[in-house]
Copies of this chain bind each other. A is one copy, B any other.
Amino acid sequence: MKTPHRESVLSRSARILEAFSQEEPALTVSEIARRAGLHVATASRLVAEMVGHGFLSRDVDRRVRIGVRLWELVTRASPTLSLRDTAMPFMEGVHDVVGHHVQLGVLDGEDVLFLERLSAPNAVINYTRIAGRLSLHASSSGLVLLAYGPTSVKEAVLSGPLIAYTSATPAAPARLRAVLAEVRQQGYAYCPGYVHQEALGIAAPVRGAEGAVVAALSVIVPNESSAHAVVPVVRTAARGISRALSAPPTGESRPDGNESAT
Contact = CB atoms under 8 A, between A and B. Distances in A.
A5 B2 contact: yes
A123 interface: yes
A45 B10 CA distance: 12
Contact of A101 (B54, B75, B256): B256
A197 interface: no
B77 A65 contact: yes
Nearest to A128: B256
A79 B65 contact: yes
Contact of A261 (B22, B75, B76, B195): B195
A165 B45 contact: no
A246 interface: no
Given A68-B113, A108-B68, A130 B21 contact: no
A126 B260 CA distance: 9
Contacts of A123: 256
Interface range on chain A (Cβ under 8 Å from partner): 35 or more
Contact of A76 (B6, B53, B132): B132
Given A118-B88, A127-B256, A262-B135, A73 B18 contact: yes
B81 A261 contact: no
Given A6-B46, A133-B260, 19 more contacts: A5-B6, A7-B49, A9-B10, A18-B73, A20-B73, A22-B76, A22-B77, A22-B81, A22-B257, A24-B77, A67-B79, A70-B74, A71-B74, A71-B75, A78-B131, A119-B257, A125-B255, A126-B255, A127-B260
